[in-house]
C-alpha cells in the first residue's frame, strides 16, 4: 500500500523536474526580497541543480537519464579553473544580470 503511494509520489516528482528543467540543464532558482516571494525573479545558480542531482542519485528511471546528462553538462560548464564553483552562474557574472 505505502510502496505504491511512494512510487507514485516519486513519479510525480520526476515529472515535475523534467518539466521545469531549463534548456541549459539548470534547475531554476527563484529569489525574492520578502518571505511572501513578492517580486520573485529567476536567480541563475548552480546550487539548486547540484542539490537536485544529489537527491536523485539513487533512483533508476528512464526519464532521469537525459535530465541528468543535461544537468551535468550545465554544472561542468559552470565550473571555473581550479575547480572553483560560484553561487551564481557565469551568465550573471558576465552580463551583470
Nine-digit cell string for 69: 546528462
**pLDDT, one tens digit for every residue, the chain (97 residues):** 799 999 999 999 999 999 999 999 999 988 888 899 888 888 888 999 999 999 999 999 999 999 999 999 999 999 999 888 888 888 764 444 4
Closest CA to 87 of 47, 42, 40: 47
Segments forming the whole domain that contains residue 28: 2-33+40-95
Q: What is the pTM of this model?
A: 0.82
28 in Cβ contact with 48 (< 8 Å):
yes
Domains contained in the chain, number = 1
Query: What pLDDT does residue 91 have?
Result: 76
User: What backbone phi and psi angles, to 5 degrees, belong to 26?
Assistant: -75, 145
Query: What pLDDT does residue 54 have?
Result: 97
Measured on CA atoms in the order 84, 90, 95, 97, is the torsion positive or negative? negative
Amino acid at each position: 500500500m505505502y510502496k505504491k503511494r511512494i512510487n507514485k509520489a516519486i513519479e510525480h516528482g520526476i515529472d515535475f523536474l523534467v518539466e521545469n528543467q531549463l534548456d541549459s540543464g539548470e534547475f531554476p532558482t527563484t529569489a525574492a526580497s520578502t518571505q511572501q516571494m513578492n517580486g520573485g525573479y529567476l536567480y541563475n545558480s548552480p546550487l539548486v541543480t547540484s542539490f537536485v542531482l544529489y537527491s536523485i542519485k539513487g533512483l533508476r528511471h528512464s526519464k532521469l537519464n537525459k535530465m541528468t546528462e543535461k544537468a551535468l553538462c550545465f554544472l561542468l560548464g559552470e565550473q571555473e579553473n581550479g575547480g572553483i564553483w560560484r553561487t551564481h552562474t557565469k551568465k550573471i557574472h558576465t552580463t551583470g544580470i
